[in-house]
Structure 1
């Protein structure tokens, strides 16, 4: 265990074991949730569930061994929703091409993680716009969750309206949402997976979904989705903004997660020149995204749920290794996952959306200039209204740059902003 430097990090095997189990409980929900989300894009649910479990195991294990940090990784919430509902269903892009987009964004992330690009991009983009991107993705996935549950529905006169709450399925979704919010508010470990289990039991009792006849089975084959990505179709100028969107969102998501977890665990200290853990964690994240697209899933990223393990005392990569080992059990839970009613799953999207939206609370609007306020507004509003993360980011950066130019505040427009603005313009032109 010396490779994890437990004594140096003031930890021990028992502490790391419990920390790993805690992370497993808090993020286990991603396996069935991702299965439901990507299956909406036409990917076979059985294969997706196995692939999600596999990439979680492999990415988390590699992260622990390579970076020696308690950071778990899996398929990212937000970009998986964008993959299914924004690209495949919204833009009518074949899921094979969408996987090619994820692969290319991963390759770019791998290359850039070996350079100082992350420092350049982080210093180029105002913090408030970065927070707006997180909040916008939150509104996007919450909107999707509400729509899939039937709590909101299409309306010709008003575009959207309240759904039909007389339907048992909708009421089941309401129960799942209340349970998810309540358990999370009380900081119960495994709040999401517990809410999913209880909602499913209620659903089975009232006849929504079928009670599983067995819980464990041999893992489904990933052959229907593995290595089915279409890279050549993704290498078109019209899809460049989408590739950049996946890249930037993954990078912000990862850096935001690592900053939050690192602060609590006293990791990634910038004043320590010998600390290479941040660089190595970014490299692991980038490689995981690339590998995930080969297995047949959307962008893989660092999970904020890793903070739960840090709170339990996890300080080294051994925590991540134990987390990966616990996730092996999910490979054999296909019958249970498939029996879960969909409205026991989608409430999780709403709660995750709420958590991401709270990033707006960190913005001091009374001290923010109008260009930034306008950019924030369009980013947050247009992501759900246009069903596109790309459109939201593009509109936000365009209006920010235009207002800065109108007010002759060119000094605030560095090269990074101008490059992203140019790509944003391509998003609308193409």
Structure 2
């Protein structure tokens, strides 16, 4: 175990094992949840469940061995919703083309992770707009969750209105939402899995779902989605803003996660020039996204749930290796996952959305200038209203830059902002 330098990190095999199991419990929900979300885009759920488990195992194992950090990886929440509801259902793109977009964004991330682009882009974009992007994605996926649960519905007069709360399935979703909030508030390990389990049992008891015919089975084949990505269709000027959106969002998501987890675990210390763990973790993330698109899933990213393992004492890549090993069990749980009612799953989207939305509270609007406030507002409000992360980011950066130029505050603009603004303009022009 000297490979993981356990003594240097003041940890033991037992501690890393416990930390790995804790991380597994807190992020296990991604396998059935991602299956439901990508199935809405037309991908066969059986294959997606297997592919999600596989990419989680491979990406987390690679991350642990390559970067020696306790960072687990899987299909990112938010971008998987954008993949299904924004690109496939919203823009009417074939899911094969959407996978091609994921591949290209991952390939760009691989190239850029080997350069100083990470530092350049992070220093170019104001922190307030970065936080607004996270909050906007949170509002977007929460909106999707509420819509899928039936808590809000379409209305010709007001666009949206309150759903039918006399519908038992809607009430089931409400129960799942309350349980998810309560369990997470009490910081229970596996809060989401616990809420999904209880909500499913209630559904089965009252005939709102079919009981599983089996608990375990052989893994489903991923052949229907394996290497089905259409890269050539994704290479289009009109889709460039979407590719950039996937790239930037994945980068922000990963860096935000690594910053939060790293602070607690005393990882990624910028003042240590010999510490290459951040660079290697970013490389692992980028490679995993590229590989994931080939297997048949949307963008892979570092999971904030890794923090639960860090709280248990996990400090090295051995934690990630153990997490990957535990995820092998999910390959054989397809019958159980398929029997879970949809409204036991979608409340998780709402809670994750709320957690991402809290980033908005870190923006000091009292001290912010109009350009920052207007940009942040449009990013957050337009993502759910236009059903597009791209539109929200594009509108926010365009307004920010226009106001800065109008007020002749050129010192607030830099090449990075101008490049993103140009790409944002393309999003509307094209």
Shorter-chain TM-score: what band? over 0.9
> SS at the partner of 1:367?
coil
> SS at the partner of 1:227?
coil
> SS at the partner of 1:207?
coil
Does residue 251 of structure 1 match 2:236? no
Partner Cα separation in structure 1 for residue 271 and residue 163 of structure 2: 53
Q: Which residue of structure 1 lines up, in the alignment, with residue 374 of structure 2?
A: 374
Does residue 95 of structure 1 match 2:95? yes
Partner Cα separation in structure 1 for residue 336 and residue 419 of structure 2: 47
Q: Which residue of structure 1 lines up, in the alignment, with residue 49 of structure 2?
A: 49
> SS at the partner of 1:175?
helix
Unaligned runs of 5+ in 1: none
CA drift of 1:409 comes to: 0.5
- Normalising by structure 2, we get a TM-score of 1.00
Q: Which residue of structure 1 lines up, in the alignment, with residue 329 of structure 2?
A: 329
Number of residue pairs the alignment of both structures matches:
430
Q: Which residue of structure 2 lines up, in the alignment, with residue 392 of structure 1?
A: 392
Q: Which residue of structure 2 lines up, in the alignment, with residue 226 of structure 1?
A: 226
> SS at the partner of 1:385?
helix
**Displaced runs of 4 or more, over 4 A:** none
> SS at the partner of 2:82?
helix
CA drift of 1:365 comes to: 1.0
> SS at the partner of 1:70?
coil
Deviations 1:44-96 (A, max 9, x none): 00000000000000000000000000000000000000000000000000000
- Normalising by structure 1, we get a TM-score of 1.00
Q: Which residue of structure 2 lines up, in the alignment, with residue 277 of structure 1?
A: 277
Q: Which residue of structure 2 lines up, in the alignment, with residue 353 of structure 1?
A: 353
Partner Cα separation in structure 2 for residue 292 and residue 10 of structure 1: 34
CA drift of 1:367 comes to: 1.0
CA drift of 1:411 comes to: 1.1
Q: Which residue of structure 1 lines up, in the alignment, with residue 28 of structure 2?
A: 28
> SS at the partner of 2:366?
helix
Q: Which residue of structure 2 lines up, in the alignment, with residue 429 of structure 1?
A: 429
CA drift of 1:303 comes to: 0.1
Q: Which residue of structure 2 lines up, in the alignment, with residue 37 of structure 1?
A: 37
Partner Cα separation in structure 2 for residue 253 and residue 199 of structure 1: 29
Partner Cα separation in structure 2 for residue 7 and residue 269 of structure 1: 19
Partner Cα separation in structure 2 for residue 366 and residue 86 of structure 1: 33
Q: Which residue of structure 2 lines up, in the alignment, with residue 297 of structure 1?
A: 297
Partner Cα separation in structure 2 for residue 261 and residue 55 of structure 1: 21
Partner Cα separation in structure 2 for residue 359 and residue 411 of structure 1: 26
Q: Which residue of structure 2 lines up, in the alignment, with residue 78 of structure 1?
A: 78
Deviations 1:203-239 (A, max 9, x none): 0011111111210000000000010000000000000
Partner Cα separation in structure 2 for residue 231 and residue 410 of structure 1: 39
Deviations 1:247-295 (A, max 9, x none): 0000000000000000000000000000000000000000000000000
Q: Which residue of structure 1 lines up, in the alignment, with residue 316 of structure 2?
A: 316
Unaligned runs of 5+ in 2: none
Partner Cα separation in structure 2 for residue 8 and residue 231 of structure 1: 44
RMSD value, Cα: 0.3
Does residue 135 of structure 1 match 2:135? yes
